[in-house]
Amino acid sequence: MVDGDQLLRGRFNTTLRVGLGLIAGAAFVVLVLRDVNLAEVSDLLQRATLAPLFLAVLAFVADFLLRAVRFWIMLGQTTGRSLPLGPTIGPFIASFGMSDVLPLRLGDGFRVLWFSRRFGISAGTVLGTMIVERILDLVTIVILGAGALMLAEVSAPAALMRNFQLVLVVALAGGLGMLFVPALLSRLFERLFRGVELSIASSLLSALKATSAAVLQVGSWRRIAVLTVISLALWILESLVLIGAWLSLGGSPDHLLQPFVAFAFSTLGTLVPSLPGHFGAFEFFGVQAFALVGVDAQMAVAVVLLAHVILWAPTAIFGISWLLFGAYERVQRPT
């Protein structure tokens, strides 16, 4: 049983994390808007054309369907079982929608719980699959961002350029390092709690071992190569949302690398604690990347805001709708 002190500490830690995210997100919003003429931003948004936005939404739908298929492939590889594709798509997308409206990425916890109960898979295995998924996302967006940054015409000071290059290096190193974290933690816990009968410790150790096994199971070179190609494809699809917003607001079709660079760094910015839906961090890093390639601040803010709404609203609406009307799918017994 959990005693009162542990419960209070848990509540305090949760409140602290939510509070820090809100403060950081609000600070990012202030930094973005402090030197921007909001009237000009509003005027730009009112002149948006619909055709590029329609294509952006289609690309986003294709992106998330491909993400769901990738997770289904990875989960099947990890478990060695042939899982049905249909029942995985709805809850997979809904988990992102929940994280878009709730703090602490609670949608991730929902995904672990739902797939564990629905398919009779251990929570550690689902979590391990999600870790590899996030590593693939991080590594591929870094590759795309680095490539776009090398090809784009940069008009920023050398010091700012070095900062962006450092972000790429740190993100890549962090993503690759995550592959080894579950295995290292499981070994550490084995040594710390050897011979100690604690239900919480044994449960945590079992989860870490299952996570480590899932990482190793997914991580063969051939499988990683296939999954990397899929990951590159889905990130290119998602980048079309920001490119669509750029074209909708009058951006030049001859300078598509500019919104692509902004997309890469705004996406990496979502790793930083912020408001639910990554509002604040997404805008700040996207606007800074636009500045790096010489785009006007008002145009940058308008494009990033418009793209963020397209990236946020569909999954948020789907997540809420699935919770309200898809309850029949949330069975408790394994298939």
pLDDT of residue 224: 76
pTM here? 0.81
pLDDT of residue 80: 84
DSSP single-letter state for residue 4: H
Structure-block tokens of residue 82: 């042939």
pLDDT of residue 92: 95
* Domain extent at residue 250: 38-329
Domain contains 165: yes
Structure-block tokens of residue 60: 């986003």
pLDDT of residue 277: 87
Domain contains 274: yes
Instruction: Residue 36: name the closest of 256, 276, 284 by CA.
Output: 284
Pair 270, 304: CB distance under 8 Å: no
The count of domains in the chain is: 1
Residue type at position 193: F
pLDDT of residue 88: 92
The CA distances from residue 254 to 201, 239, 297, in Å, are 57, 16, 19
pLDDT of residue 16: 62
Domain contains 176: yes
Domain contains 83: yes
Domain contains 3: no
How many helical (H) and strand (E) elements, i.e. helices and strands, does the chain have? 13, 0
pLDDT of residue 91: 93
Pair 322, 94: CB distance under 8 Å: yes
Pair 128, 218: CB distance under 8 Å: yes
The CA distances from residue 102 to 68, 106, 266, in Å, are 21, 6, 20
pLDDT of residue 209: 59
pLDDT of residue 166: 72
Percent of the chain with pLDDT over 70: 72
Domain contains 28: no
Question: What span, in angstroms and rounded, lies between the C-alpha atoms of 290 and 168?
Answer: 16
Domain contains 228: yes
Distance of CA 4 to the CA centre of its chain: 34
pLDDT of residue 328: 47
Predicted confidence (pLDDT) per residue in 285-323, tens digit: 999 999 989 999 999 999 999 999 999 999 999 998 888
Mean pLDDT by 10 residues, the chain (335 residues): 51 64 82 90 96 97 96 89 92 93 86 92 85 83 82 70 69 62 56 55 57 61 82 96 98 95 91 84 93 93 97 93 68 46
Domain contains 4: no
pLDDT of residue 94: 94
